[in-house]
Amino acid sequence: MSISAPFPPEHQNQEFLENRYSLINVGLKWTIVVLLFVTLNQFLALYFGGDTSIVNMDVAMLSVAVNLFMALTGTIVFLLNRQLHRRGGDWSRLMDLNMHVLGVVVMASWVVHVYLAGTQNTLIVMMIPGTAMVLVWIFSGRWAWFYWMASNVALTAICYLEVVGELPYSPLLVRPEGGAEIYLDIRYRLLNGGFYAVGSAMLIFYVTRLKAALESSHAETMRAKAELAVLATTDSLTGLLVRRSILPKFEEQLVRADRDGQPLCVVILDIDNFKSVNDTYGHAVGDEVIKMVAEVLRHSFREYYDLIARIGGEEYLVVLPHNDLASGRALAERARLHLNQQSVPDGQGGTIGVTASFGVAQYLPGRKTTTDALIHDADEAHYVAKRAGKDRVCVAGDDANQQSATG
């Protein structure tokens, strides 16, 4: 039985995806609320107080419609994301697809707004790098740069069409003939566009680097958390579970045994004469003995199914789901015989043979026996094995003559 970290990578990824889903949905919800509020105020202001001598009302209502379309698309994506999350499966990838659709709609809407309000004299243009910075956190820096570049290519094309006279400049505003010459001048556009491009690119670059640094720090924190969890739940010498980590798993197996109507066995074993090994050969050799016994137990029982723990200096606990007393005793006997075939270098040119005494107890479904009671029964059986001569298996409730013979 090999022990891995209690927070395997797939669980860490799931936690990350759940947090990401929550943040995206909260952001979407409030963005939709703000957009609807802005759209309503924009509509009321234009409908009741719009000055047709300044503002082209048809174009202004088109601007309102674009905002409403963004809010509607965001609402649909928000509802789809919630539905996908509830259904499970590959919801995260489908959510990303929804967010890409929303990203295209939002960036295209900003381009339309910038054109309607005037490509050279509106602060709305800063919504493009602003949205790109949000996309850094939703997707990645690469996607943010892609959307930013695509939007600016569209803006450049619009500027060109304005300069050559194919598109009117700032169709939202009604102004005297010739009122936009300064904005059509190519020198002004190069200066203004260069400032915008450099400034917004620097912002996106900074946010991308900041996100990368935060993700790296988060990954280091998660690795440290996993390592601490392993240290808290496993024995540093053998890699087996420790008492405090096996007991909750033991409780779960009792619940499962009741549910499935299957018995369960508990094995307690203790290395024979371990104190004399430490006293004669030193603690380094004693540690090798402990590690060797742990390896024998790993190979004697079912990997990823049975539970194995080191619960004391030279004492081990094994939980065997779906095993009655006879099969539990047979498995313990197999481990005992396997242990008899092993030896450990004594550090003085020789080897040490190692034996252990085993006690086995059984849990029957519906008995409502506690883990402490089962461990106590197995421990008592193991003491019977010790008193009977060691290197043998005893089962709880048996007389002293119901013991395996010494190999």
Please list the active-site residues. 314
Q: Is the dihedral of CA 43, 47, 50, 52 positive or negative?
A: positive
- CB-based contacts of 220, cutoff 8 Å, min separation 6: none
> How far, rounded to the nearest angstrom, does the alpha carbon of residue 392 sit from its chain's CA centroid?
46
- CB-based contacts of 268, cutoff 8 Å, min separation 6: 315, 316, 317, 318, 358, 359, 375, 378, 379, 381, 382
| DSSP tag of 398 | -
CB atoms inside a 10 Å sphere around CB 350? 9
According to DSSP, the residues that pair with 117 across neighbouring strands are: none
With b meaning 16 or more CB within 10 Å and e meaning fewer, what string describes 171-210? Answer: bbbeeeeeebeebbeeeebeebbeebeeebbebbeebbee
- CB-based contacts of 334, cutoff 8 Å, min separation 6: 300
According to DSSP, the residues that pair with 264 across neighbouring strands are: 321, 363
Cα distance between residue 159 and residue 157, in whole Å: 5
Q: Tokens 């990368």 sit at which residue? A: 212
With b meaning 16 or more CB within 10 Å and e meaning fewer, what string describes 136-153? Answer: bbbbebebbbbbbebbbe
> How far, rounded to the nearest angstrom, does the alpha carbon of residue 33 sit from its chain's CA centroid?
30
